[in-house]
């Protein structure tokens, strides 16, 4: 209990004092996680829409694989990516291992199935007659897609929120492919693991409060966006 209070005090202290290292780590965490979820959204949204709306052979198989992917353990993703990016691996020429980009790739890999899968589910649930009705109202293909996106925004944002939750909490893969390098790839989760291993529980706790705060704020914004029209 005392440790908790101590951690909370330390967190406030570190934020108020504007500790440049903490700010840098927090900023990098935000950058990396938001970029990852953004990429997942940019890929997963159209992909999920197509999987939900268009029937083609092999679709069930892909949906099954995506559902399996939703449970992909981050460390497994991290391990695969490490092997690919290694100097002895096929993608070594990009020199991406131990860079923020590598973390973004790993986080995208673990959040993409969630965003895609939940979007696909949302679009599978759309009444076919609604699609016909929107076409009948004179919508072009793009307008149709935009309206359907808007109609499914609750489910889509739920997917993005779930994906973001996974990304911001992820540590195994970030540790493995990022290397927790000071000033380069150290993010909040990897710092927490490191500080715990050093026995600096108060700093670890303080970092955990910062992590929870930004996770809360972003999830809150997304949830607000998700719910705002409903309350009218």
Partner 1 sequence: MFKIKRAFAIMLIMLVALMAACSSSTGNDATKDEPKESGEVERTDIILATTTSTQDSGLLDVLIPMFEEQQPYNVKTVAVGTGQALEMGSRGEADALLVHAPDAEQELVDSEDVVNRQKIMYNDFIIVGPADDPAGIKDAAVAEALTKAFDAKATFVSRGDDSGTHKKELALWKEANLDPAENGSYVETGQGMGSSLQVAAEKKGYILTDRATYLAQKDNLGDFEIMVEGDESLLNIYHVMEVNAEKHEKVKKDGAKAFVEFMIAEDTKKTIADFGVEEYGEPLFFLFE
Partner 2 sequence: MTSLITIENIEIKAGDKPILSVPRFELRQGEVLGVMGPNGAGKSTLLKTLALLAPPGRGSVFFQGQEVGDVLALEVRRKFAVALQQSLLLDTSVYHNIAIGLKLRNRSRKEIKEKVAYWLEVFKISHLSKKHAYHLSGGEAQRVNLARAMILEPEVLFLDEPFSALDFPTKVQLLKDMKQVVENTKTTTVFISHDLVEIKYFTQRLIILMDGEIKQSGPTAEVLSSPNEAAAGFIGEWSELLS
SS (H, E, C) 20-83: HHHHHHHHHHHHHHHHHHHHHHHHHHHHHHHHHHCCCCCHHHHHHHHHHHHCCCHHHHHHHHHH
Q: Residue 225 interacts with partner 2 (CB under 8 A)?
A: no
Find the shortest distance in angstroms from Cβ 150 to partner 1.
5
Identity of the residue, 88 or 232, whose beta carbon is nearer to partner 2 in the bound complex: 232
Identity of the residue, 107 or 152, whose beta carbon is nearer to partner 2 in the bound complex: 152
User: What tokens does 59 get?
Assistant: 């679709």
The b-or-e profile of 94-130 (16+ CB within 10 A means b, else e) is: eebbbbbbbbbbbbbbbbbbbbbbbbbbbbeebeeee
Q: Residue 147 interacts with partner 2 (CB under 8 A)?
A: yes
CA distances from 185 to 97, 98, 139 (A): 10, 7, 46
User: What tokens does 167 get?
Assistant: 């990304």
Among 88, 127, 197, 199, binds partner 2 (CB under 8 A): 127
- Backbone phi, psi, residue 123, to 5°: -75, -25
Find the shortest distance in angstroms from Cβ 230 to partner 2.
8
Identity of the residue, 132 or 225, whose beta carbon is nearer to partner 1 in the bound complex: 225
What's the CA gap between 166 and 220, in Å, rounded?
A: 15
- Backbone phi, psi, residue 8, to 5°: -65, -45
Q: Residue 5 interacts with partner 2 (CB under 8 A)?
A: no
Mark the segment that binds partner 1 (CB under 8 A) among 47-55, 67-75, 108-116, 146-154: 146-154
Cβ neighbours, 10 Å, residue 200: 16
Q: Residue 60 interacts with partner 2 (CB under 8 A)?
A: no
Identity of the residue, 97 or 210, whose beta carbon is nearer to partner 1 in the bound complex: 97
Q: Residue 95 interacts with partner 1 (CB under 8 A)?
A: yes
Q: How many residues at the interface with partner 2, by CB under 8 A?
A: 17
The residue ranges that bind partner 1 (CB under 8 A) are 31-32, 34-35, 38, 41-42, 86-88, 92, 95, 97-101, 104, 142-143, 146, 149-150, 153, 157, 179-182, 184, 194, 196-201, 225, 228-229
The residue ranges that bind partner 2 (CB under 8 A) are 127, 129-130, 132-133, 135-140, 143, 147, 150-151, 229, 232
């Amino acid at each position: 209990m005392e440790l908790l209070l101590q951690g909370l005090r330390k967190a406030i202290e570190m934020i108020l004092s504007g500790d440049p290292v903490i700010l840098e780590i927090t900023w990098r965490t935000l950058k990396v996680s938001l970029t990852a979820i953004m990429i997942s959204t940019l890929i997963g949204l159209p992909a999920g829409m197509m999987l939900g709306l268009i029937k083609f052979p092999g679709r069930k198989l892909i949906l099954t694989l995506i559902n399996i992917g939703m449970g992909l353990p981050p460390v497994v993703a991290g391990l695969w990516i490490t092997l690919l990016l290694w100097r002895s691996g096929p993608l070594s020429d990009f020199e991406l291992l131990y860079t923020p980009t590598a973390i973004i790739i790993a986080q995208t890999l673990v959040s993409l199935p969630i965003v895609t899968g939940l979007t696909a589910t949302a679009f599978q649930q759309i009444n076919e007659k609604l699609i016909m009705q929107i076409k009948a109202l004179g919508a072009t293909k793009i307008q149709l897609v935009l309206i359907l996106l808007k109609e499914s925004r609750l489910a889509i944002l739920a997917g993005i929120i779930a994906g973001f939750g996974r990304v911001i909490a992820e540590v195994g893969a970030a540790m493995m492919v990022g290397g927790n390098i000071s000033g380069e790839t150290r993010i909040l989760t990897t710092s927490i693991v490191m500080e715990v291993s050093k026995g600096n529980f108060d700093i670890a706790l303080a970092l955990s409060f910062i992590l929870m705060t930004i996770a809360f704020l972003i999830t809150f914004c997304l949830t607000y966006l998700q719910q705002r029209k409903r309350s009218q």
